[in-house]
Structure 1
Amino acid sequence: MPGYKIGSAIAVGYAAFSKQGGINVASAAIESLTEEISRAGLNATKTGVTFSPKKTIPGDLIEKLAIESRREYGV
């Protein structure tokens, strides 16, 4: 799974499949933004958010998830 590495930690990983995609972040990022993820109509697991081509993740939510993930890893 490709991702973005900052320092020694991968802050965000991502994957794409034929019917859905996903981004993986630190579990603390998911926990802190659970309500916002839900309001966007998206599904979250312990470490990721899934989306479809018809229901994408808003850009500002991706940014928030990445920032929170980066904080958890201390980078």
Structure 2
Amino acid sequence: MTFSDHDAYIAAAPQRFCPLLATLRAQLARTLPDAEEVIQYNMPGFRIGRSIVASYAAFSKQCGLYLSPGAITAHTNEIAAAGLNATKTGITFPASNPIPADLVERLALTSRKDLGL
């Protein structure tokens, strides 16, 4: 399935994740007000220039927030303290344990800075 915009992506996600994705989208839009909402690699993201600063996704059992590797590294301790799992470029979380709003903001701003934007 391909998506034309963030609304279509969120509407097609598993029902239990829709409110979480809508909140995450709003948090990222507030934090990155000059970013363009795009669909890239079939995921909703926020792009500045040619760079995706942050993107998000829903899967069958969890959601993910994807950022620059430097953002993940810079906030490793906070991610772990929130009980979240991180990879080199993403953080996965169940609907029962979303990423705290203040951490989403710090991650997005760090990703932007890490990308030189």
Q: TM-score, normalised by structure 2?
A: 0.62
Q: 1:49 aligns with which of 85, 91, 98?
A: 91
Q: Does 1:61 align with 2:103?
A: yes
- Percent pairwise identity: 53
SS of equivalent residue, structure 1 residue 74: coil
Q: For 2:94 and 2:104, locate their aligned partners in 1 and report how far apart those are by CA, in whole Å.
A: 14
Task: Name the one with the larger helix percent.
Answer: 2
Q: For residue 7 of structure 1, report the CA deviation from its aligned partner.
A: 2.0
SS of equivalent residue, structure 2 residue 97: coil
Q: Does 1:73 align with 2:95?
A: no
Q: For 2:96 and 2:113, locate their aligned partners in 1 and report how far apart those are by CA, in whole Å.
A: 30
Unaligned runs of 5+ in 2: 1-42
Q: Does 1:19 align with 2:70?
A: no
Greater Rg over alpha carbons, structure: 2
Structure with more relative contact order (C-alpha pairs < 8 Å, separation 6 or more): 1
Matched letter for residue 109 of structure 2: I
Q: For residue 19 of structure 1, report the CA deviation from its aligned partner.
A: 1.5
Q: TM-score, normalised by structure 1?
A: 0.95
Unaligned runs of 5+ in 1: none
Q: Which 4+ runs in 1 deviate beyond 2 A?
A: none
Task: Name the one with the larger strand percent.
Answer: 1
Q: 2:71 aligns with which of 29, 50, 68?
A: 29
Give the superposed CA RMSD: 0.8
Aligned length: 75
